[in-house]
Structure 1
Amino acid sequence: MEVVTVAVCRGVVRIVVALGLVLAGAAAQTGAAQAGVVPAGAGVERAGAGAVRAGAGAVRADAWRAPEADVSYRGRVKLSAGRLAVWVVPENQGPAPLANTTLRLRFSAALADGQELAEGCARAGQREVMCETGALPAHGPGRHIGLRLWLKERPSEVVVRVDTWWNGGANDRNHANDEHTVLALDTGDSYSF
């Protein structure tokens, strides 16, 4: 008899807890609507300039919007006698400033061990280096990033791929200016992007 009573009591407790959660959720949604909080989750999207359509859940109307920015890169690549020089200037075309972004450089040739990299840069593999750009103002350049890299072998050419690994959570609609592929021949000439 005790086993049945305990099972019934546990079932009643679960029902009461579930009902309490449902009622608390309804009260929270009512309070949220009065406080200017928009339900979110499924179906949250822009409905025009500043307007939002709602789904299920609850977040502030402006919390889901990422800053609008346009990260871009320009620079040069030079290959000479197994040594690769890369110079990059990150820029932000705006309209919002960014606190930091991460530039990714990938190479078709393996890097030698024991590289000395610029401040804010780290190896991410045999053929990859990541560099933080630092703050990018709304309409202007960031800090210049210069790398002198030794390659494991002495290739006649190296392909360098430049792109953004992380953009600070910004909404960047133009990737034509932050994704570059550069072929550098072992001539000592600079190849611009």
Structure 2
Amino acid sequence: MEEVVAVRHGAVRSVVVAGSLVLGVAGAAQAQGGGPVADVAYHGQVVLSRGHLRVWMVPENEGPAALPDVTVRLRLSAELADQQELADGCVRAGMRDVVCGTGPLPMQGQGRHIGLAMDLREWVPEVVVRVDTSWNGGAADRNLSNNEHVVLALDTGDAYVF
């Protein structure tokens, strides 16, 4: 069963993550297969207004190893209009998909902020936006809960955060 998150911006003043334990290891952590261990996370917001979809997000790496680049994928429940002007580092990957490179993700740091303004093919009352990692350079990520999001955005102009 998939969890759909729809929290209107401003409805939550603060978020406390409880029960998280991160064990530090000297040097860059390596997975059993020899690749790096990292914890990629995405935080942002989705706004739908009159067939215009805006997505703003900040990719983060909560460690323990730095990553040279990651590719975040956005999958929409509605088709995009044929013509789109996407942000640098972003490309269309289908009628409903967009992928963006995050650039380097330092250990315990943020990547470049990604802002997308996209037009939908036709007006819809709501859009489901799925955010996940398409490619992470072979890193092991043992906490997928902070980089796989499903956001329901209603066509109200409100910001829905993830």
- Tell me the TM-score range normalised by the shorter chain: 0.7 to 0.9
Per the alignment, residue 95 of structure 2 pairs with 126
**Which residue number corresponds to residue 149 of structure 1?**
118
Matched residues in 1 for 2:147 and 2:89: separation?
Answer: 19
Considering only CA atoms, is the larger Rg found in Structure 1 or Structure 2?
A: 1
Which residue does 1:135 correspond to in 2? 104
1:164 is aligned, of 125, 133, 139, to: 133
- Give structure 1 stretches of 5+ with no counterpart: 1-48, 50-61
Q: Which amino acid aligns with 2:106?
A: P
TM-score normalised per structure 1: 0.67
Identity %: 63
1:72 partnered with 2:41 = yes
Q: Distance in 1 between matches of 2:140 and 2:47?
A: 32
Mapped pair 1:89 → 2:58: yes
Shift of 1:64: 3.9
Alignment length, in residue pairs?
A: 133
Which of the numbers 97, 100, 104 marks the counterpart of 2:69?
100
Aligned partner of 2:12 in structure 1 is none
| Greater share of helix | 1
Q: Deviations over 1:23-82 (max 9, x none)?
A: xxxxxxxxxxxxxxxxxxxxxxxxxx9xxxxxxxxxxxx994111100000000000000
RMSD (CA atoms): 1.5
Deviations 1:75-129 (A, max 9, x none): 0000000000000110000010000000000000000011000000000000000
Matched, 1:116 2:81: no
Q: TM-score, normalised by structure 2?
A: 0.80
Q: Which residue of 1 is the match for residue 154 of structure 2?
A: 185
How far did 1:176 drift?
Answer: 0.3
In 1, Cα distance between the equivalents of 2:111 and 2:82? 29
Are the structure 2 counterparts of residues 98 and 81 from structure 1 closer, same or farther at C-alpha, using a change threshold of 3 Å?
same
Residue type matched to 2:39 in 1?
D
Q: Which amino acid aligns with 2:65?
A: A
Q: Which has the higher contact order (CA 8 A, sep 6+)?
A: 2
Amino acid in structure 1 at the alignment position of 2:74: L
